[in-house]
Structure 1
Amino acid sequence: MKPKILIAYPNIPLMMTPSISIGLFTAILKQEGCDIALFETTGYSEDYGGMASERVKIGGTRAFDFKDLGVDIKNPADMLADFRKQVISYKPDFLLFHCVEDVFLQTCELLEYIQDLNIPHIVGGVFTTSAPERAMRESVVKMIGVFEGERTVIEIINRIKTKSNFENIKGTWVKTKHGIQKNPPQPLVDISDLTPDYSLFDDVRFVRPYGGKIYKTFPVETYRGCPYKCTYCNSPFSRTFTKEHDLGNFLRRKSVERIKQELQEYMDKHQPTYFAFMDDSFLARPKKEIFDFCEMYEKHFKLPFWFNTRIENCRPEYLTALKAAGVHRMQFGLESGNEEYRKKVLFRDVPNKTYIEYFDYINDSDIAYVLNLIIGMPGETRELVFDTIRLVKAARGYDGLTVSTFQPYYGTVLRDLCLKHGWLDPEYINSATHGLNELSVLNMPKPFLQKQEIKRLADTINLYCFFDEKDWHDVEQAEYDLDKREDLFKIYRKRFLGEFQMGGKTRIGKGATACRVDEKVLFSVLNTNPLREQEVVMLV
């Protein structure tokens, strides 16, 4: 018997990067001799907006058009009917759903629309792992995956082949006639055992703009997990989960030789022109590994590549090696510019003085970089946002900002903090469609930021970071005056963004296109205002 598996991939509209998890499940199902099909919701969008277009709108990146990339959109009103039509025509033995919290409610809509067909399914992903009780409350959800799913999928296929039921499978919770059966998690997998198979995705999904140019980009996982404890992120939850269940160390890295093999497979099969290393923190690895990777990559590939990491990990010798290897662009989570807030609330204990030192190293390398900011975090005030703005200005050489409104995801410390203070509806499940600067869901008392103020600051923070402080009264007007805002963005796009990316040294050297910073700003960055006593008591 050749099992027929339909992979269902609910996704944020026009979030184009192919999912590594879907690639892994595709590879497993092929190895197990399955017939596979894919239904995904990525292309269902009312317009060519989406997450990337929102970034363009608020000045976070250079303009591009999805239509120019060959992306077709579908009417969202047709999504449920299209899904049902594919399920009926394909006649799968099993439905495998992979979703994050943002699309869990959409997953439930899809399941409800085919509920009468009685096809067994599993819903897996970060959300079902961090909120299994909440996921199983949905009547249409019959089985969920809890934690890593590679071994679970293999066991499910074995049950289909032997025509056995799906009870007592490790890594699942399943509804039975006796109630919910909560099975223990699977052992951790060796992430080096498998190369993702992206063959179910259309070619257009790999076409991505970086720094003003278009590349055929392949996502790569070299490192699973993150060693840091940031309270807005659910990555620390995975380490806690493995510890509580005696599974070992969740942090796993592929060897440099294994990375080489995987990259070569992509080169041979797909001829990419760019690699995106999707690890939580690419440089959070031993020094020797970094140099070995750079030597290997420079010798065998030297394609441009992107990664995300921490600012304080960018030692000058690393940057020199990475540049020789071909790094094109880097991304850093800055999130907040206030030292005390960052340390006591976000659990990021790095002083601004260290950031300034490492920004100098990064700028001197002339590697283009982007900074991530979060607006509207629990207990954040307008004053704290301006601490962030001043630290961004002190960086001077950044090439763009990714600005996100805080989202209280399940499995994060900050969600629990919001619930503790009554700032969040306990039933709230994130369903952001753009994932960037949507209206905040928190209801915080003053002096903390209010919903509309968060939205205005998220929409204009690029302008505050770019324009001199003496011009901030114009930017403040632009928070309310949309015509004024667009006039300022025209100046910003011309003088700051330009057509193509620039590294820090180049940007600073051009003067007019770089963010300006004076001694007054630098002093304020190194001496950020401490949190008020009542704020510390409430937030810590």
Structure 2
Amino acid sequence: MRVLFVYPNLYTQMGFNHGLASLSASLKAAGHETRLVNLNENLPPVPSDDELWDLVCDWQPGLIGFSCLTQQYAEGLRLARLLRERAAAQSVLLPPLVVGGIHPSMVPAEVMADGVWDHVGVGECEDSLVELARRVEAGESPDDVRNFLSWKGGVRPTGGAPEPEAWVHNPVGEFPDLETLPMPDYGLFDTARITAQKHGWFGLMTSRGCPYRCTYCLNHKIIDRYRAELGRPVPRLNFFRFRPPGLMVEEIRWVLEQYPDVGTFILDDDLFTQNPDHAIAFCEAYVAAGFDVPFVVNSHVKQLDPRVAQALAKAGCRILKLGIEAGAVRVRKEVLKRNMSDADILETIKSAEGFGLHTSGFVMTGLPGETREERWATVELLAASGIGRFRTSLFFPFPGTESYRLSLEGGYIDADKVASLTDFTSSSALDFGADENLFIDKLATCMPWFVNSRMAGNPAAARYAPLVERVLALDARQWEAFKPSVREVDSEHSKAATAAQELHYAIRYNAFMGVRSDFFLAEEHGIEWLTAAAKPVPERLRELALAAAANEVC
């Protein structure tokens, strides 16, 4: 059978969808043929509605599968309705429409109630999608396949809004075994082009699962569903799974042969360092295989074993990413369910940097129930941490999560923005009132300036404090006029700080990333770190980098 995947991914970050690649690989291993329509403006030309319809008619898939994030679900729904309308108008028999991904997994009944889908997938569907394809191809009833909500008798109602009694909510199946799943189908995507567009950064996954129950993440909802529907406690669900290092070495070797422009691997595991034995074994296998491509991993401030940090540095880990999220202990504990102290965060950053790992922190602003003082606490914590870089996002309330409930109960949700936003960086989906909305926008846009202004004992603080005061004094109209010039103003101040040999953060690589100057100066001027890992630059190298930058400014 032919299976056509449709991936609405417009006006957000361009990337590789690990879930679709794994689904495609599983289908191909079962003898099916797959193809992808990837809708992303960074990969032009974006297929038009007519081109999508023509492909469906010409290629004649037996199944059409959509993968949707919350921000992209509206576009997926529009395309599905368009296919239904075109098929009805031209008397064409449309194959079953299936949708999966984060949004359908979180609110499957709401998605099914839209009435346009034949099947709604929940959770990890590699095994279930293969079974669904087999049933459809064989003409068997597809309404009792695990992990799917399906219409009773396999027949989708056509009149009016469907009632829940019209569909079957099948229980989930077992989590797929990473030791037996085939290697992801990297060829499903235009992977060479994506890799070039991302300047050689390439995503891999060595594990699945996360032990934490952060309120803004889907993991707690997914694990609760599996626990309830399989009737087993979490330790017996096989939620935390690891791909053997030997298989990862084979996969990486294949990737490097196929895509020679790979310059950095991003290990997209939720939490690479959660299992020290797996992390160390991977690092040792990576070194033994002779790979010299640096890589990046996700960690947790309470899950960095010194043995793992040492192994990462030896293997060439370039960046260690940490979820800090908020500076106020109360917000982390009560709003986000992230039970970690300031000391945990500061000590882990210090430890990682001591092993030569360049640290990167994720922070959010615009959190429900967060006060102005607590938003400033995020600034203060970053300033005190000395972290290598930080990425600022605007909180987004994913439907089905605990944080969505908190946002709804607090009366913060702006329904129009929730429906229209496609990313986490352009605007907040919550409404805190005009004054606080303005402050949050300024903070998210200029976070490096705020952090620099609070770096006690650092000469850069005196340079950036007046700039922050200037920004805070702007009214809404003045801010909108000033906002387009932020990158230019940042560049000017960074050049001056560099010339004065002041350690500082500047906006680099994208509009929401603040990067420590010793790192980006060394990188921009071709000065290597001590190892493949992004170690702090030795004083002499730092002086050379600063001098080179100062000469350019002058």
CA contact (8 A) 2:38 2:189 kept: no
Give 1:427 deviation, angstroms: 9.1
Are the equivalent residues in 1 in contact too, given 2:368–2:410 (CA < 8 A)? Answer: no
SS of alignment partner, residue 5 of structure 1: strand
Distance in 2 of aligned mates of 1:86 and 1:381: 51
DSSP 3-state at the match of 1:377: coil
In 2, distance between residues paired with 1:208 and 1:370?
22
CA offsets 1:273-301 (integer angstroms, 9 cap, x no match)? 4322111111011x333322221111112
Match status 1:104 vs 2:68: no
Structure 1: stretches of 5+ with no match in the other structure: 45-70, 515-540
Alpha-carbon distance between aligned partners in 2 of 1:222 and 1:6, rounded to the nearest angstrom: 26
1:486/1:103 CA distance change after superposition, 3 Å:
closer
1:105 is displaced (CA, Å) by 0.7
Aligned pairs for 1:123-522 within 5 A? 123-175=99-151, 176=155, 179-194=166-181, 195-202=183-190, 203-207=192-196, 209=198, 214-215=199-200, 217-245=201-229, 246=231, 248-271=237-260, 272-285=262-275, 287-300=276-289, 301-398=291-388, 400-424=389-413, 431-433=420-422, 435-444=423-432, 450-467=436-453, 468-470=460-462, 471-479=464-472, 480=474, 482=482, 485-486=486-487, 488-494=489-495, 495=498, 496=517, 497-498=520-521, 500=523, 503=534, 505-506=536-537, 510=542
Count of aligned pairs: 473
Preserved CA contact (<8 Å) 1:256 1:292:
yes
- 3-state secondary structure, aligned to 2:49: helix
Q: CA deviation at 1:414?
A: 0.9
| Aligned-partner SS, 1:205 | helix
* Equivalent-residue separation in structure 2 for 1:393 and 1:505 (angstroms): 17
Check 1:511–1:141 CA distance in 2 against 1; reply closer, same or farther (3 A cut). Answer: farther
Q: Secondary structure at the match of 1:40?
A: strand
User: Take 1:41 and 1:161, find their aligned partners in 2: how far apart are those partners?
Assistant: 27
The equivalent of 1:5 in structure 2 is 3
Residue pair 1:171, 1:183 contacting (<8 A) in 2 also: yes
Distance in 2 (CA, whole Å) between partners of 1:421 and 1:370 is 31
User: AA paired with 1:276?
Assistant: I
Structure-2 change in CA distance of 1:486 and 1:104 (3 Å): closer
State the alpha-carbon separation in 2 of the partners of residues 207 and 493 from structure 1: 28
CA shift for structure 1 position 403: 1.0
Aligned pairs for 1:77-96 (under 5 A) are: 79-96=48-65
SS of residue paired to 2:48: helix
Cα distance in 1 for partners of 2:420, 2:32 equals: 32
For the pair 1:30 / 2:19, whether they are aligned, the reply is no
Structure 1 residue 397 displacement after superposition: 4.1
Cα pair distance change 1:488/1:475, threshold 3 Å: farther
Deviation, 1:492, is 5.0
Q: CA deviation at 1:311?
A: 2.7
**Identity rate, percent:** 23
**Distance change (3 Å), C-alpha of 1:134 and 1:72:** closer
Q: Deviations over 1:476-501 (max 9, x none)?
A: 32353527745540145544344727
- Structure possessing the higher relative contact order (Cα contacts under 8 Å, 6 or more residues apart): 1
TM value normalised by structure 1: 0.81
Code of the aligned partner of 2:70: E
After superposing the two structures, state which structure 1 stretch, 262-271 or 222-231, moved more.
262-271
Q: Residues 289-331 of structure 1, C-alpha deviation per residue, up to 9 Å, x if partnerless?
A: 3322221111112321111111333344322221111112221
Q: Is the 8 A contact 2:349 2:359 kept in 1?
A: no
Contact 1:222 1:259 in 2 (8 A): yes
Residues 113-144 of structure 1 deviation map (CA, whole Å, 9 limit, x = unaligned): 11132331110112111101211121322321
Separation (CA, whole Å) in 1 of partners of 2:207 and 2:469: 42
Query: What displacement does 1:366 show?
Result: 2.8
Q: Aligned partners of 2:248 and 2:487: how far apart in 1?
A: 45
